[in-house]
Homo-oligomer: A and B are copies of this chain.
Amino acid sequence: MTDIRITSALRLLQAADEFRAGLAGEFSSVHGISVNEFLMLLHVQRSSKQRLARVELAKRMHVSASTVTRMAAPMEKIRLLSRDVDERDARIVFVALTEAGAERLADALVTFAKRAGYLLDDRWQGSEVEQLSEMLRRLAPGAAGTLT
C-alpha cells in the first residue's frame, strides 16, 4: 500500500512546499516579489527571445492564462516587464523582460541561490547533488520550456 513510489511522490510535494515557503518570506520582504513572479521573470528571461506569448508562459508555469494576465499587469506597470505585440498575429501579446526586470531578477537569483545552498548544504557531496539534479530533471517531463 505505502509503496516507495507513493513515499517518493509525497516527499517531492513536501520538499517543494517547504522550500517554497521559505523562499516566499524572503522574496516578498527583500525583493518585493512573490515566488511566482520570480518564476515568471525567469521563464521570460530563459526563453529564446526574452519574450513569451501569454498562453505559452501559462503552460510553462502550470497556471491559467488569466493568472498570467493578472500577474503580468502590475509588473508591466512598474516596468519590470513590457507588452510586445506580434507583427504577424495581432492576437498575441508577448511578455518581454525589461532591463529593470533583468536587474530585479538578478537580485532575486542571489537570494534563490542562497536558499538553494541551504537546501543542499555542506552535507551533500557534489556527486550527490548531480545525481539528484538529474533525477529531478527526469521527473519533469514538460519538455518544452524547461527552465533548466
Contact = CB atoms under 8 A, between A and B. Distances in A.
Contacts of A7: 133, 148
A11 interface: yes
B11 A148 contact: yes
Interface residues of A, number: 52
A140 B4 contact: no
B140 A18 contact: yes
Per DSSP, are chain A's interface residues mostly helix, strand or loop, or mixed?
Answer: helix
Given A10-B147, A10-B148, A119-B9, A19 B113 contact: no
Contacts of A138: 123-124
10 contacts: A1-B109, A8-B120, A11-B136, A12-B119, A13-B19, A16-B16, A16-B17, A17-B61, A21-B62, A119-B139
